[in-house]
Amino acid sequence: MNRAVPPPSPWLPTAPCTPGRRCAAHPDAVTDPGTARAAFRPAPAPLACARLAAGLATVLLGVVLLPVVSRLSAAARHVLVRLWARAVVRAFGVRLAVTGPRPPAGRPALVVANHVSWLDIPLVATALPGRMIAKREVRGWPVLGALAALGGTLFIDRDGLRGLPGTVREVAGALAAGGRVTAFPEGSTWCGRAGGRFRPALFQAAVDTGSDIQPVRIGYRPHGASAYVGEDPLGASLWRVVRTPGLAAEIRILDPISTIQYPDRRLLAAAAQHAVHPTAVPPSPPRRPTAGPPAAVLPAGTPLGTPVGPRPAVPRQTAPNAYRAVASDSANRPSSSVHHRSASNPASASSSRTPS
């Protein structure tokens, strides 16, 4: 007897990307339908197997050495993590380019990036190592789950609201201690041809600690080969990556965003989304407080105690409660994307597969 599948939560981030020719595939058929398939020549199977074995071995090496590396100073640990992450990316056959100025070491920042693939995690670590925020399911993954836990990953329940304020407090604590935290605020993977809305909850941690937002843009060429979306199995994604010749990734470090300029988490999220996805709607400038109505002036000689009319109504002020408010952000709404515009039938499945 088949079990009834519970309906998806309206709070669970979704994307219209699905495995197949349009999103997760070898040729970049959407960008160049006339030449992409003809130009694509998969790497020979022996070379692909060698890349896969080298990549998995490098990941396992990190698991073995992590207990020793964790005892080193923060500066030495970051150097080794960057070298290891770069070795993982290169072992899987991916060429990497990092552009943009790196922020000074030791400065707390909330690093936010668009989310395309499981490759995003080592890619960001090559340039800006720090504590990652990952969905709680990653904790149970073989090898990678243990590696994430030992590396200080902050696990989050994407479908539960009650634990969200506690996660924000934990992120704020890491930032207040001078650390760097990396998050993928889209909450789900997209194929790279479009992106999702940046959810504002985690930005509250930066507001509370006065930490900068460090936006990062991740891009892959060709599109599709690196995408890990929908119900795409991890094994299929790994095999697609190692069989794609000339797969290149770019990490573009953008200008930091100050919480002084945007003192609200929703404004911060919109500003970061506009930086990563320039086609997104830019945030509105924060409103300045307006002056109240001028005080009434009595004519000369008016006796004291003469009424001057009703007082203007003063809005009641309530005490801020940011951590409670992060659980009251609007429910998820599917974002429009290139898939909705170009596909004859909108994708029925949503991308909930994300290693972060």
**356 residues of the chain, pLDDT tens digit each:** 444 444 444 445 555 565 665 555 554 444 444 444 445 688 999 999 999 999 999 988 888 888 888 788 878 888 888 899 999 999 999 999 999 988 887 789 999 999 888 889 889 989 998 888 877 777 776 666 766 776 678 887 766 667 778 888 889 999 998 889 999 998 777 666 667 889 898 999 999 999 999 999 999 988 778 888 777 788 888 999 999 999 999 999 999 999 999 999 999 999 999 999 887 667 766 665 555 555 555 555 555 555 555 545 444 433 345 554 554 554 444 444 334 333 334 333 344 454 55
The pLDDT of residue 18 is 58
Q: What are phi and psi of 182, to 5 degrees?
A: -110, 130
Q: What is the DSSP string of 62-78?
A: HHHHHHHHTTS-HHHHH
Predicted TM-score (pTM) of the model is 0.73
Is 219:117 a contact under the CB 8 Å cutoff? no
Q: Could you give the CA distance from residue 171 to residue 164 in angstroms, rounded to a whole number? A: 11
Helices H / strands E in the chain, number of each: 11, 7
Residue keyed to tokens 């990092």: 98
Per DSSP, the three-state class of 57 is helix
Residue 270 class from Cβ within 10 Å (0-12 exposed, 13-18 middle, 19+ buried)?
buried
Q: Could you give the CA distance from residue 2 to residue 293 in angstroms, rounded to a whole number? A: 66
Q: Could you give the CA distance from residue 98 to residue 246 in angstroms, rounded to a whole number? A: 17
The closest of 126, 131, 148, 121 to 82, measured between CA atoms, is: 126
Tell me the residue type at 331: A
Residues 6+ apart with CB under 8 A from 150: 63, 66, 67, 70
- Angle (CA) 145-123-207 rounded to 5° is 85
